[in-house]
Amino acid sequence: MASTPTSASAHGSVSIDTLGWWAAWCGLVLIWAAGYAQRYLNHDAAWYLWMARALLGGARLYVDAVDSNPPLIVLLSVPPVWIARLLGVSATAAFDIYVFLVSIGSTAACAWAARRALGDLSVTGRRMLATVALFCVLPFVKSDYGQREHFAVLLSLPFIIVSAGRAAGRSVPGRAAFAIGVLGGIGFAVKPHLLIAWVLVEILLAVLGERPRRWRPETLGVLVLLAAYGAVMVVAFPQYIPFAVKSRGIYAALLNPGLLALARLPEIQLCAVAAAALLLVRLDRARSGALLVLLTAGAGFLLGALVQGKGWDYHLYPARVVLLLTIVACAASLMDRVTDLKALVRGGARSVALLLGCVLLASSARYSLQARRPPARDLVPPLLDAVRGRGRSMYALQMLLYPGIPVLNYSGMTWAGRHNSQWFLPGFYTAELSAPGAAIAPHTPEQMSSLEHEFFTQMVDDLCLNRPDVLIVENGVIRGADVAKAFDLLAYYRQDPRFVQLLGEYGIGSVVGDYTIYTRRR
């Protein structure tokens, strides 16, 4: 006669399951760490780290250190810089650890929120969601670690899960929900375009009949954060809005691929797959409402990326993450509710979870191996070798941030200008990009628009005032969406006699790829 399983054996089975999940989570972290150790800091994250350093040193944002993005991402970069100064360690290392801890905290918050807000989802289903979330915030982010969109996902994802629970008639404790709302507000406000996702989620909850007698704590948290952020921006950073208005048109012209190219983005197909999965999975109203919130948040992030008009990979990262979670949540819900489907798979939900874990670990390993193979033109190491020990300050006349940034951060030098690159030039030469010819002749000062002349003068002013010990000059190319034309940066700035005189103080140290390193004579 077969014996009845004892509670001890049942507890043992649960323990084995739990150990298996912990092994998968630790595996994801270790595989990610092995690959990330081979990478340099993302150039955008590196620039905001420098802006945070400048801010702590007394610089005025949007005057002494200029960028087209709102100040929130700079404020998010202040803690690791402050800690690095306090402990006397590298700011880049402190930033890496800081983002890692935020990533782990975000995943833990998502798991906690799912346990309370999605309580009718099975334990296996919730652990599947937590595993996918951990995969998305570490291995899946790849080289965009620490980007603005990475922070957006880390801080807004718990809010989205709590909102999904609201649609299912569940909630989390008020104080915790308010804190999740504040953090979610930070995530959504990192870029104004990302607020589209929050607005759509709130509209959906209203349509679904979620009309509380008072504000939901998480929504109140978002509103409080947005109000406080708006006040800080007006009081502490009054120069931002005038600069953003002034530079909006030229930034919009930077590598804009056009609507047809954006319409072919695979993320649009992913959104369609998630929507189809939700339609095919016929569940009760509460569970369908929760999944619909996830889908709406993903679609909102996708719309926010499209509104930016670039189609860049990191712009699409938040949509990709939430839509993947939507598809996994649909699958987990289907496994929970359709008993016959479980029977089709030997081992049921456990086997599906094991397969998912193996896929995520294999994908993480592939990303890690890719990271260990540097790109063919990885210019950061040779440029670092060329500038180290050459002085205390540097500047790069480069079209975009890379590679002068992150070379700046790892060299320990200071940046000798307010602009991070010649990011503004494509916006001033849109007509020349569409005209025949392989090269673009620089505008003379008389031909320049008032804004181009302003930026031109700022560049020369900064170089002449700060006189960097090392000057890196790119053999420039102005790029449009589908065309690139040569542009002589030295000829451009030599139109100012002050720059000609300054350049006479430098000698050519070395050449690395398309970059010439000039060293100031002592």
pLDDT at 169 exceeding the cut of 50: yes
**pLDDT of the residue at 479:** 84
364 and 389 fall within a common domain: no
Rg (CA), the chain: 26
Q: How many domains does the chain have?
A: 2
Of 338, 372, 406, the residue that ends a domain is 372
pLDDT at 1 exceeding the cut of 60: no
193 and 135 fall within a common domain: yes
User: How many residues can be counted in the chain?
Assistant: 522
pLDDT digits (tens, 9 = 90+) for 66-121: 998 999 999 999 999 999 999 999 999 999 999 999 999 999 999 999 998 887 78
362 and 390 fall within a common domain: no
| 3-state helix, strand and coil shares in percent for the chain, rounded to the nearest 5 | 65, 5, 25
Q: Does residue 186 lie in a domain region?
A: yes
Question: How far apart are the C-alpha atoms of 320 and 331, rounded to whole Å?
Answer: 17
152 and 84 fall within a common domain: yes
pLDDT digits (tens, 9 = 90+) for 219-275: 999 999 999 999 999 999 999 999 998 888 787 667 676 666 777 889 999 999 999
Q: Which of 71, 68, 80, 86 is nearest to 41 (CA)?
A: 80
56 and 191 fall within a common domain: yes
**pLDDT of the residue at 183:** 98
Residue 407's domain comprises 380-520
pLDDT digits (tens, 9 = 90+) for 484-503: 899 999 999 999 999 999 99
Q: Does residue 504 lie in a domain region?
A: yes
Mean pLDDT of the chain: 89
Q: Does residue 260 lie in a domain region?
A: no
97 and 128 fall within a common domain: yes
Enter the tokens of residue 57.
Answer: 């040193």
366 and 424 fall within a common domain: no
| Residues 6 or more apart in contact with residue 440 via CB below 8 angstroms | 429, 432, 433, 478, 485, 486, 487
427 and 358 fall within a common domain: no
Question: How far apart are the C-alpha atoms of 474 and 453, rounded to whole Å?
Answer: 21
Instruction: Give the predicted TM-score (pTM) of the model.
Output: 0.93
41 and 168 fall within a common domain: yes
